[in-house]
Amino acid sequence: MSEKQASVNRTEVARQIISFSWPIFISMIFTEFYNITNSLIVGNYVSLKALSAVSACTWITNIFNYSFYGLGMGAGILIARYYGAKDHKKLKQALDSAIVFAFVGGLILTIGSELLLPLIMKLSNIGPDIYDDALNYLRVYLMGNTAVLTYQMCFFILRSFGDTKHQLYYSIISSVANILFGLLFVRVFHMDVIGTALATILSQFIMDVLALRLMFKHDDFDFSFKDIDFSIKVVGEICALGIPAGFQNMLIALSSMMVQSHVNTFSNEVIAGIGVAEKIIGWGQLTSVSISSATMALVAQNIGANDYDRVKMVIRESVILSLISTVVLVGFIVTFAPILVSRFNSDQGVRFYGTQMIYYSFFGPIVIVFSHIYNAACRAAGNVRIPMYIAIFSQVICKYAFVRIGLSIIYDVQILYLGTAIGYSLAGILASLYFFRSHWTLEHGLR
**Per-residue model confidence (pLDDT) at position 175:** 85
Phi, psi of 432 (to 5 degrees): -65, -45
The phi-psi region of residue 411 (left if phi > 0; otherwise alpha if psi is between -120 and 50; otherwise beta) is beta
The torsion angles phi and psi of 338, rounded to 5 degrees, stand at: -60, -40
Sorted by sequence, the CB contacts under 8 Å of residue 204 that are 6+ apart come out as 144, 147, 148, 151, 174
Cβ neighbours, 10 Å, residue 225:
6
Q: What is the pLDDT of residue 151?
A: 86
The Cα 75–Cα 56 span in angstroms is 31
pTM for this predicted structure: 0.72
pLDDT value, residue 225: 67
The pLDDT, as a whole number, for residue 31 is 72
List b or e across 401-437, with b for residues whose CB sees 16 or more CB atoms inside 10 angstroms. ebbeebbeeeeebebbbbbbbbbbbbbbbbbbebbee
Print pLDDT tens along the chain (447 aa).
Answer: 555 555 557 788 888 898 888 888 887 777 777 666 777 787 777 777 787 787 777 777 777 777 787 888 888 888 888 887 788 888 888 888 888 888 888 888 888 888 888 888 887 777 788 888 888 888 888 888 888 888 888 888 888 887 878 888 888 898 889 888 988 998 888 888 888 889 888 998 998 899 888 887 776 676 666 778 888 888 888 888 887 877 777 777 667 767 777 787 788 788 888 888 888 888 888 899 889 988 988 898 888 888 888 899 999 999 999 999 999 999 999 999 999 888 877 788 888 988 999 998 888 899 999 999 999 999 888 888 898 889 889 888 888 888 889 888 888 888 888 888 888 899 999 999 999 999 999 888 888
Domain map (residue ranges) of the chain:
3-443
Residue 292 is predicted with a pLDDT of 92
Q: Which pLDDT score is estimated for 307?
A: 86
Residues 323, 328: Cα–Cα separation, whole Å: 9
Residue whose C-alpha is closest to residue 268's, from 47, 44, 45, 416: 47
What is the pLDDT, as a whole number, of residue 35?
63
- Cα 74 to Cα 382: distance, rounded to the nearest angstrom: 10
| The dihedral sign for the CA sequence 103, 106, 112, 118 | negative
